[in-house]
């Protein structure tokens, strides 16, 4: 997967197994080293290194003024970041968990998303809001929400979510460098997923706004992102036994949405299933299915189906496996794509 194999000074680099958490931390570190206006702030991000240890070592390397433990108040953190950005800094805010980002909604919706527009382009806010999201880690309530639909529905925000170690580094670097605000959703159950990766020579990745075909196939397209990508990859492998060769598209960013890559894939395969953890009703899948139908109607052999979380508050940890879309549910949906019409 990794292509770059030499350091800046030309030494060969050996990629070693690294976790997504390590790649994210390295992205923060490299952004801070490269650009003195990058400031990290949030709860426990300093001395502790964050509850997921993503910011580990940053306060030590760059000082408390660059990586700041704030008072425990999410609206205050994001509101202060707005002011810092107004003065020319490039704040990276850590929200501790998905559901703890809700107190910052007003700042996000009314100011972060709108400031460029409100000021006729005079004062864009280059803020990255990192939000660990999704379930599957055995968290008790308020620790496992999939909140992407709220962010997607707010014009002015970019909504980005990596599913691979390479993307974790590359997309976070690009988000921090972006002059637009980015809600950077980190799939927390993939924090400890590993891939060969080299911090000295991280692989270049496709830019924000570009979806990537993770697995080419001819029978049907699975469209997914973040925590559901590994589920879809596994489902695609299992589907071979049923005679289905599934294509898997990793969206990588929900906003901007890559209509082109998605539509091109569905036109090739003629069938599509959208997979995400977020509740189905009012979730990203509905929007994606509508967009596919609008663009690919005459290529479709079956209705676009959705495999999503149930329309329920996130369940207690001992029951979450019943809620999360798994391989079997994905395969069941694929089976319902009206294959009999082909024969």
Partner 1 sequence: MTVQELPGAAAYRPTPPPAWKPITDPAPLLPDPEPYRVLGTDAVADVDPELLLRLHAELVRGRRYNAQATALTKQGRLAVYPSSTGQEACEIAAALVLEERDWLFPSYRDTLAAVARGLDPVEALTLLRGDRHTGYDPRERRIAPLCTPLATQLPHAVGLAHAARLKGDDVVALAMVGDGGTSEGDFHEALNFAAVWKAPVVFFVQNNGFAISVPLAKQTAAPSLAHKAVGYGMPGRLVDGNDAAAVHQVLSEAVARARRGEGPTLVEAVTYRMEAHTNADDATRYRVDSEVEAWKAHDPVRLLEHELTERGLLDDAGIEQAKEAAERMAAALRDRMNADPELAPMDLFTHVYAEQTSQLREQAAALRAELDAEQDHDEHGPEAGR
**Residues with catalytic roles:** 143
Q: Check if the beta carbon of residue 239 is closer than 8 Å to that of residue 246.
A: yes
> How many other CB atoms are there within 10 angstroms of residue 313's CB atom?
11
The stretch among 50-58, 118-126, 218-226, 236-244 that binds partner 1 (CB under 8 A) is 118-126
Of 10 and 88, nearer to partner 1 (C-beta) is 88
Binding residue for partner 1, selected from 135, 156, 230, 283, defined by CB under 8 A = 156
Q: Does 297 bind partner 1 (CB under 8 A)?
A: no
Rounded distance between C-alpha atoms, residue 143 and residue 197, angstroms: 29
Closest separation in Å from C-beta 186 to partner 1: 22
Of 84 and 201, nearer to partner 1 (C-beta) is 84
Q: Check if the beta carbon of residue 109 is closer than 8 Å to that of residue 45.
A: no
DSSP notation for 148-187: HHHHHTSTT-EEE---SHHHHHHHHHHHHH-SS-EEEEEE
Q: Angle at CA 144, nearest 5°, toward 142 and 147?
A: 90
Q: Does 173 bind partner 1 (CB under 8 A)?
A: no
Q: Check if the beta carbon of residue 156 is closer than 8 Å to that of residue 116.
A: yes
Of 24 and 78, nearer to partner 1 (C-beta) is 78
Question: Radius of gyration (Cα) for the chain, nearest Å?
Answer: 20
Of 193 and 261, nearer to partner 1 (C-beta) is 261
Closest separation in Å from C-beta 67 to partner 1: 12
Rounded distance between C-alpha atoms, residue 10 and residue 190, angstroms: 32
Beta-sheet strands, E only, within 20-151: 38-42, 67-69, 90-94, 128-133
Of 118 and 336, nearer to partner 1 (C-beta) is 118
Binding residue for partner 1, selected from 143, 158, 173, 306, defined by CB under 8 A = 158
Contact string (CB under 8 A) for partner 1, positions 38-67, x = contact: ---------------------------x--
Closest separation in Å from C-beta 267 to partner 1: 17
The stretch among 137-145, 155-163, 228-236, 307-315 that binds partner 1 (CB under 8 A) is 155-163
Contact string (CB under 8 A) for partner 1, positions 256-295, x = contact: xx-xx-----------------------------------
Q: Check if the beta carbon of residue 314 is closer than 8 Å to that of residue 133.
A: no
Distant-in-sequence, close-in-space partners of 301: CB < 8 Å, separation ≥ 6: 270, 271, 337, 338, 341, 342
The secondary structure of residue 19, as a DSSP letter, is E
Closest separation in Å from C-beta 9 to partner 1: 33
Residues binding partner 1 (CB under 8 A) = 65, 70-71, 73, 75-76, 78-89, 91, 103, 106-107, 110-111, 115-124, 155-156, 158, 178-180, 209, 255-257, 259-260
């Amino acid at each position: 997967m990794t292509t770059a194999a030499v350091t800046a000074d030309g030494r060969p680099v050996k990629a070693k197994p690294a976790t997504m958490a390590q790649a994210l931390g390295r992205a923060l570190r490299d952004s801070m080293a490269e650009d003195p206006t990058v400031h990290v702030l949030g709860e426990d991000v300093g001395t502790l290194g964050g509850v997921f240890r993503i910011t580990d070592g940053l306060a030590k390397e760059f000082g408390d003024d660059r990586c700041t433990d704030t008072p425990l108040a999410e609206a205050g953190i994001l509101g202060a970041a707005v002011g810092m950005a107004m003065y020319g800094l490039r704040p990276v805010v850590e929200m501790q968990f998905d559901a703890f980002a809700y107190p910052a909604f007003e700042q996000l919706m009314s100011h972060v998303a709108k400031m460029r527009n409100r000021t006729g382009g005079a004062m864009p806010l280059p803020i990255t809001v990192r939000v660990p999201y999704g379930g599957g880690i055995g968290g008790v309530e308020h620790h496992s929400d999939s909140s992407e639909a709220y962010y997607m529905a707010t014009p002015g925000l970019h909504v980005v979510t990596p599913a691979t170690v390479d993307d974790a580094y590359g997309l976070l670097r690009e988000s921090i460098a972006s002059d637009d605000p980015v809600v950077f959703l980190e799939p927390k159950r993939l924090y400890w997923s590993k891939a060969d990766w080299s911090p000295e020579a991280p692989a270049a990745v496709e830019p924000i706004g570009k979806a990537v075909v993770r697995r080419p196939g001819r029978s049907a397209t699975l469209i997914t992102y973040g925590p559901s990508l590994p589920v879809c990859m596994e489902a695609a492998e299992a589907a071979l036994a049923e005679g289905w060769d599934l294509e898997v598209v990793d969206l990588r960013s929900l906003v901007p949405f890559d209509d082109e890559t998605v539509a091109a894939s569905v036109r090739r395969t003629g069938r599509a299933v959208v997979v995400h953890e977020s509740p189905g009703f009012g979730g990203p899948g509905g929007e994606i299915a509508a967009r596919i139908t609008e663009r690919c109607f005459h290529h479709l052999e079956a209705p676009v189906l959705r495999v999503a979380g149930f329309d329920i508050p996130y369940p207690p940890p001992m029951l979450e496996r019943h809620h999360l879309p798994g391989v079997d549910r994905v395969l069941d949906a694929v089976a319902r794509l009206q294959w009999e019409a082909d024969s």
